Amino acid sequence: MTVASRLFEFDHSYARAVPSLSVPWTAAPAPAPELLVLNEDLAAELGVDAAALRTPAGVSLLVGHGLPDGVQPVAQAYAGHQFGMYVPRLGDGRALLLGEVVDTAGRRRDVHLKGSGRTPFARGGDGKAAVGPMLREYLMGEAMHGLGIPTTRGLAVVATGEPVQRETVLPGAVLCRVAASHLRVGTFQHAAATGDRDVLRALADHAIARHHPEAADAANPYLELYRRVVAVQAELVARWMLVGFVHGVMNTDNTTISGETIDYGPCAFLDAFDPATVFSSIDERGRYAYGNQPAIAQWNLARLGETLLPLIDENLDAAVEAATETVNGFAAVFSGHWERGMAAKLGLAAPDRELVADLLELMRAQRVDLTLFFRALAAGTARSLFIEPEPFDAWAARREALLVGHRDAVATAMDRVNPVHIPRNHRVEEALTAATAGDMAPFRRLVEAVSRPFDERPELADLAGPPPAGCAPHVTYCGT
């Protein structure tokens, strides 16, 4: 028995269910694969022997080679709205789905490669990836997982031993990513665009079985599928907002059916609070600014609703009415999660919209660090973060009047939901720069910090602070 067959028992239910939405393909060669980082906790979830993954045969599998007999990777097809413009053919241009595995909890999960070479969907790209962006995705996935936010996660990053040409020559790498699935709004857009209702129905049935099985028993399963996707996306974006996460590229092909965060290209976390914050170098008009994320998510979900109309009702007017009512429900679901989340962050027994709105405007006006504020509020030191503290004093008195219970218990509860550590943008860049040059120590230390974000650890205190005063605004890039 080979190492590969001992490691994974791959299935291919997606390729069987909708064969027209993927293309069998093979990963490009990796001349000298070297394991840079392995997620042993995730390997354990998958029921995989981490020691075997570290062997040459295991590392080879992590870049798509030495696969068990009968395993055929596929590149998945999808379309998408990118910055509001519809692109009918996107797909896995530099990625492959190796297959699906059932983890130790009985959950079906995709094992997927990114940076594994050109596919028929490559659109002129070289299909490769560099060490820095692949480590960024690994790091961000672990940070989001630590924060309790649904996310894809990196199982490993492997340097390929092959240079890739970007603005400069960089070391190449492949990310092995694990996801509940890679079904996206863009997958449904592509299926709908074929005009083949049977393909669309097969995709929707697969999505129901995989992610929202309760919908199968509903009077209208496809409308119920839509309602559930709207609900999980509303909760996901609320969770992003509560920790100051800015996705940066909320295209419909990056909006999952499962409700997981996917694609950590130009993402970043807020330092000073400002709803207009944009980090991505390509988001020139601020479409995907922090404060726009809920509205963009709802817009993306409206595009999903359009694809499902033929399945929701034979009568187009009735289908449109039902889908519109469903997507209009996004705001209430989002607001519920946001308001309850903010109440918990503030130590309140119940939401208070006006108190939250006034606080956020105060923080925006005085450029107060979002993450530092909530930990300092629990500790009783938040006043020091304000250049002009008197308005904060007035706000704090209003909050104090709403607190219920012993103050120590309130502070302890707040510390369970307000992180000490986020992937601070300047620390991320430092770690990735060092890793690209061959020094993985700063990266490993940062992963350690963000993987347990609510724990105060003196030895990692230097990773918790904002960038030094006077730093240039942080800019992120898509990493392609």
Sheet holding 153-165, edge to edge: 22-24, 74-76, 95-102, 108-114, 169-179, 153-165, 34-38
Tokens for 399, please give them. 């909050």
Most distant CA pair in the chain, distance: 71
Rounded CA-CA distance 398/400 in Å is 5
Phi, psi angle pair for 99, to nearest 5°: 160, -175
Rounded CA-CA distance 60/158 in Å is 9
Rounded CA-CA distance 298/252 in Å is 11
Q: H helices within 266-418, ranges in order?
A: 293-312, 316-328, 330-346, 353-366, 370-379, 389-402, 407-415
Closest listed residue to residue 143, CA positions, set 480, 427, 475 = 427
Residue type, 202: A
β-strand partners of 22: 76
Rounded CA-CA distance 141/420 in Å is 17
- Which residues are part of the catalytic machinery? 253
Phi, psi angle pair for 134, to nearest 5°: -70, -35
Tokens for 159, please give them. 């340097």
List, in order, residues 6 or more apart from 43 with CB less than 8 Å away: 49, 50, 53, 155
By three-state DSSP, how is residue 179 classified? Answer: strand
Residue type, 208: I
Rounded CA-CA distance 455/419 in Å is 8
Cα–Cα distances in Å, from 224 out to 188, 237, 238, 252, 312?
A: 16, 20, 21, 20, 9
Rounded CA-CA distance 389/373 in Å is 13
Rounded CA-CA distance 324/304 in Å is 11
Contacts 24+ apart (CB under 8 A), 376-379: 377/346, 377/347, 377/414, 378/347, 378/410, 378/411, 378/414, 378/415, 378/418, 379/411
Rounded CA-CA distance 417/406 in Å is 18
